[in-house]
């Protein structure tokens, strides 16, 4: 009888979402009946509210289903959202009435929407104060080829030279990123952090804006040995199952380092040079240009100039990544995959397969000339690395 | 010689409230420039047939707008609002009397552009209010002809230059309402610039003018006569009839409730939405219609309103569809 009455009560409701819980109801009928009656009254209120809202223009405050009260907080949030939408519509219609504003420098656009290598013009570099060097007495004579002249006691960097070197560096960044290389953007002065982080985001690389720990490359196993490694496929998706094999792998190193203040990062650049890692650097008139592989003669003291250069290199990296992903979606891999990993298959299948077969977690690399060149370069670098006593783990993405 | 050179040096202190110097800024580019209207080439050639001749259009749009923007550029040089949009300048400078000059120029530029944007410049198309708009106008003003006459009579009765607006606001129970708002001189209808709305003629609507009008029949007589103890104009302008101030102060008084309601104004200044305006400054209608031609100008302008622009600016619920009171997004 109790069972029957409870079931009848539950079916009489308009929205009977508890009908499947009738079994549970049998156990605690009394408590559930109070709950059910409260729910019923709430649903009555909500149905009345929806009827009023449907038939009239007046807005009725909604009932909070948990506390059964009209919560001013929820209404306030709804109102704020509505007002914001109306504000945005009004701004779109009448916000720009009255005049047309001529294009001008807006600092946030250098970070939100950085220029690409195609947007590099002498006017942009001049406006970003890239031409301003240091006092003539502080110069490094090796930079003589980059200097246009002297004005008001400082050396003026030739902007055509700056533009040419910047385009070359952008091409290097684009190609390294197209081939799946690890790029590190380093800038340790005050205010350079946002530019460096933004460039790394665009190029899907890595950033550094605090002090470089000396030995992170030459003594990398000690300093960065605890960092986690992961295996990714050509679409940058993590492939599980390689955890045991990654335990023994050596720590990763960057394939390219972009440093926007080389004067303070001598140690980083020296470690890169010792380990044959190419570097790009912003070379002011007092900086030694031989510290980096690809100098960009420009003003490293101007944040606007650094934001332009880091933005351009970030955009170049973004273009390279896009090319890599497009090739991957067509089945082409732009790099040589790691050949000393075995697939995490079942033990009996593993024993039956040939032991020296290279792992097929990534599809067989296609594409002609570029891969062959990559193989040659890879072979040379492996020779160099073997002399060093350690293998370079190129193709495995390090997770930070 | 030293005295002469000191006099020649420009003064360092120049208040913003005084008119700016008539000096051309040395080789600086102007931030604000004349905006383009729809069919602007045709407007420059022919004016707006039926409303403005070619010369009148050039004077009241091209010349006047450029003049306002040029003066605004001079006022804004080096100021925090140098690169802001005109509406931002209006709202940011409305509150400070020291920034009255840039407010005036920016507000006139905004209002003038709003006026010309709301004109139907295509002679082949006739514009009429949509059914939704007609319904709401009839609801708020008892009928469409009475709305027309109220609007035009308000504009005609304004003594002196200004603008008259049709604005959409919200009543106490959140239903959208339409209202007519006059703004004298360079007053702005924007909610954020309410300090300079200038919706009343201050020469007639001030405390002394109202009280002296009511006191003209009951002149105070005392030992000093109508004048105060310190001679004429020293009697404070108070009414002689006693006023009951019960309930005028305290947390539940009308003043407190009004200020609390003001605090609950919607964010972003969306409580006032300008839909339509007419520019009643004399330079707009003097050339074509003459010194007595204000009414004729207003009636001709009424036929040249682009009601599609009004409909797009308004967010009025469709009366034929029920249940639009709830905002769903």
B119 three-state secondary structure: strand
Listed ranges A120-134, A358-372, B168-182; the one with the highest mean pLDDT: A120-134
Q: Do A59 and B313 touch (CB under 8 A)?
A: no
- Cα radius of gyration rounded to whole Å, chain B: 24
Could you tell me if A188 and A208 are in contact, meaning their C-beta atoms sit under 8 angstroms apart? yes
Secondary structure letter of residue A143 according to DSSP? G
| More confidently predicted of B235 and A144 | A144
The band of A56, judged by pLDDT with boundaries at 50, 70 and 90, is low
Pick from A160-174, A332-346, B227-241: least confident: B227-241
Closest by Cβ to A98, choosing from B109, B266, B317: B109
Q: Which residue has the higher pLDDT, A259 or A345?
A: A259
Q: Across all residues in chain A, what is the average pLDDT?
A: 83
At A70 the pLDDT is: 66
Buried (b) or exposed (e) across B23-42, using 16+ Cβ within 10 A? eeeeeeebbbbbbebeeeee
Q: Is A92 at the interface with chain B, CB within 8 A?
A: no
- Residue B251's pLDDT is what? 86
A56 in contact with B at a CB cutoff of 8 Å? yes
Strand partners, A207: A185
Helix locations, A128-242, DSSP H: 159-178, 193-203, 220-223
Note whether residue A270 is domain-resident.
yes
- Pick from A280, A274, A283, A277: nearest CA to A258: A280
| Residue A268 burial (CB count, 10 A) | 26
Mutation site for A-interface testing, chosen from B326, B328, B329 by largest number of A Cβ within 10 Å: B326
Residue predicted with more confidence, B15 or A169: A169
Q: Which domain holds residue B99?
A: 40-200+269-313
Interface contact B114-A97, CB threshold 8 A: yes
Give pLDDT, residue B159: 93
Strands of the sheet with A183-186, listed across from one edge: A206-208, A183-186, A256-259, A279-283, A294-297
**Partner residue facing B83 (CB), from A57, A100, A104:** A104
Q: Is the pLDDT of residue A316 over 50?
A: yes
Q: Name the residue range of residue A163's domain.
A: 118-217+253-330
Low-confidence ranges of chain B (pLDDT < 50): 5-15, 20-24, 217-219
Q: What string of DSSP letters covers A259-294? A: ES-GGG-HHHHHHHHHTT--EEEEE-TTS-GGGSSE
Beta carbons of B325 and A57 less than 8 Å apart: yes
pLDDT of residue B255: 83
Q: Tell me: pLDDT of A135 over 50.
A: yes
Contacts of A373 by beta carbon, 8 Å cutoff, 6+ apart: none
If pLDDT is split at 50, 70 and 90, which confidence band does A51 have? confident
CATH of the domain at A178: 3.40.50.10490
- Residues in B closer than 8 angstroms to A82, CB to CB, are 327, 329
Q: How confident is the model at residue A373 (pLDDT cuts 50, 70, 90)?
A: very low
CA distance B304 to B48: 9
H/E segment holding residue B162? strand B162-170
- B180 and B174 Cβ atoms separated by less than 8 Å: no
Q: Does the residue A359 lie in any domain?
A: no
Residue B50 backbone zone (phi > 0: left; psi -120 to 50: alpha; other: beta): left
DSSP helix/strand/coil, A151 = strand
Number of structural domains in chain A: 1
Is residue A188 within 8 Å of A261, Cβ to Cβ?
A: yes
Q: A99 to chain B, minimum CA–CA distance in Å? A: 5
Asked whether residue B233 is assigned to any structural domain, the reply reads no
- The phi, psi pair for A282, rounded to 5°, reads -85, 115
Asked if the structure places residue A383 within a domain, the reply is no
Does the residue A337 lie in any domain?
no
Q: Is residue A212 one of the residues assigned to a domain? A: yes
Please answer yes or no on whether A104 and B268 come within 8 Å at the CB atom.
no
A59 contacts on B by Cβ (under 8 Å):
174, 325-326
Does position A378 have pLDDT exceeding 80, yes or no? no
- Interfacial residues of B (vs A; Cβ cutoff 8 Å): 29-36, 69, 72, 83, 85-87, 106, 109-110, 113-114, 117, 173-175, 266-270, 273-274, 312-313, 315, 317, 322-327, 329
What's the number of domains chain B is made of?
A: 1
Q: What is the mean pLDDT of residues A86-115?
A: 95
Q: Is the CB of A30 inside 8 Å of chain B's CB atoms?
A: no
Q: Can you give the CATH number for the domain in which B83 is found? A: 3.55.40.20
CB-CB under 8 Å, B174 with A58? yes
Calculate mean pLDDT across residues A170-192.
Answer: 98
For the cut 50, the answer to whether the pLDDT of residue A139 exceeds it is yes
pLDDT at B244: 84
B194: left (phi over 0), alpha (psi -120 to 50) or beta: alpha
Considering Cα of A242, then A245, then A251, then A254, what sign does the dihedral take? negative
Asked if residue B75 lies in contact with residue B101, where contact means CB atoms within 8 angstroms, the answer is yes
CA distance B31 to B93: 18
Cβ separation of A90 and B268 shorter than 8 Å?
Answer: yes
């Amino acid at each position: 009888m109790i069972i029957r009455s409870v079931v009848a009560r539950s079916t009489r409701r308009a929205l009977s979402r508890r009908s499947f819980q009738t079994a549970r109801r049998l156990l605690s009928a009394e408590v559930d009946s109070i709950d059910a009656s409260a729910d019923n009254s709430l649903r009555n209120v909500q149905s009345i509210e929806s009827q009023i809202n449907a038939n009239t223009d007046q807005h009725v405050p909604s009932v909070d289903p948990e506390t059964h009260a009209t919560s001013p907080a929820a209404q306030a949030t709804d109102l704020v959202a509505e007002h914001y939408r109306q504000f945005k519509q009004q701004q779109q219609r009448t916000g720009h009435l009255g005049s047309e504003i001529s294009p001008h420098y807006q600092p946030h656009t250098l970070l939100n929407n950085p220029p690409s290598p195609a947007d590099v013009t002498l006017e942009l570099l001049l406006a970003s104060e890239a031409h301003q060097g240091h006092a003539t007495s502080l110069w490094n004579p090796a930079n003589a080829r980059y200097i246009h002249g002297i004005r008001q006691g400082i050396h003026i960097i030739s902007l055509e030279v700056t533009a040419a070197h910047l385009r070359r560096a952008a091409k290097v960044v684009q190609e390294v990123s197209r081939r799946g290389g690890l790029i590190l953007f380093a800038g340790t002065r005050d205010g350079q952090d946002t530019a460096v982080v933004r460039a790394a985001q665009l190029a899907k690389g890595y950033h550094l804006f605090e002090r470089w720990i000396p030995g992170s490359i030459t003594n990398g196993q000690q300093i960065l040995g605890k960092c986690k490694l992961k295996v990714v496929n050509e679409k940058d998706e993590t492939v599980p199952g390689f955890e045991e094999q990654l335990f023994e792998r050596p720590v990763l190193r960057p394939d390219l380092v972009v440093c926007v203040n080389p004067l303070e990062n001598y140690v980083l650049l020296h470690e890169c040079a010792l380990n044959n890692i190419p570097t790009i650097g912003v070379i002011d008139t007092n900086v030694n240009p031989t510290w980096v592989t690809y100098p960009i003669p420009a003003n490293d003291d101007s944040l606007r100039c650094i934001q332009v250069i880091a933005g351009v290199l970030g955009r170049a990296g973004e273009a390279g990544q896009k090319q890599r992903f497009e090739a991957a979606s067509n089945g082409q891999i732009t790099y040589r995959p790691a050949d000393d990993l075995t697939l995490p298959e079942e033990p009996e299948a593993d024993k039956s397969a040939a032991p020296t077969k290279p792992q097929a977690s990534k599809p067989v690399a296609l594409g002609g000339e570029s891969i062959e060149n990559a193989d040659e370069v890879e072979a040379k670098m492996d020779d160099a690395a073997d002399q060093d006593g350690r293998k370079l783990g190129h193709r495995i993405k390090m997770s930070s | 010689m030293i005295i002469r050179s000191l006099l020649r040096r420009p003064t360092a202190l120049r208040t913003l409230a005084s008119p700016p110097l008539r000096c051309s800024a040395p080789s600086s580019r102007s931030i604000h420039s004349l905006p383009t209207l729809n069919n602007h080439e045709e407007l420059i050639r022919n004016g707006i047939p039926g409303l403005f001749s070619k010369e009148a259009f050039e004077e009241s749009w091209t010349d006047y707008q450029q003049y306002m923007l040029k003066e605004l550029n001079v006022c804004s040089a080096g100021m925090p609002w140098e690169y802001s949009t005109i509406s931002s300048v209006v709202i940011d400078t409305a509150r400070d009397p020291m920034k009255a000059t840039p407010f005036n120029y920016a507000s006139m530029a905004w209002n003038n552009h709003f006026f010309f944007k709301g004109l139907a410049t295509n002679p082949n198309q006739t514009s009429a209010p949509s059914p939704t708009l007609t319904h709401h106008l009839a609801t708020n003003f008892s009928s469409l002809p009475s709305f027309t006459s109220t609007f035009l009579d308000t504009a005609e009765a304004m003594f002196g230059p200004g603008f008259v607006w049709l604005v959409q606001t919200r009543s106490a129970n959140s239903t959208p309402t339409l209202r007519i708002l006059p703004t004298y001189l360079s007053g702005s209808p924007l909610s954020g610039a309410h300090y300079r709305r200038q919706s009343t003629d201050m020469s007639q609507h001030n405390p002394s003018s109202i009280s002296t009008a009511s006191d003209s029949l009951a002149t105070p007589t005392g030992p000093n006569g109508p004048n105060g103890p310190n001679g004429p104009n020293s009697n404070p302008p108070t009414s002689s009839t006693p006023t009951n101030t019960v309930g005028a102060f305290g947390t539940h008084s009308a003043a407190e409730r009004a200020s609390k309601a003001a605090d609950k104004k919607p964010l972003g200044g969306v409580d006032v939405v300008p839909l339509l305006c007419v520019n009643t400054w004399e330079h707009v209608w003097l050339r074509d219609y003459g010194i007595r031609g204000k009414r004729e100008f207003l009636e001709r302008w009424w036929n040249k309103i682009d009601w599609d622009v009004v409909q797009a600016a308004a967010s009025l619920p469709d009366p034929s569809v029920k249940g639009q009171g709830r905002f769903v997004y």
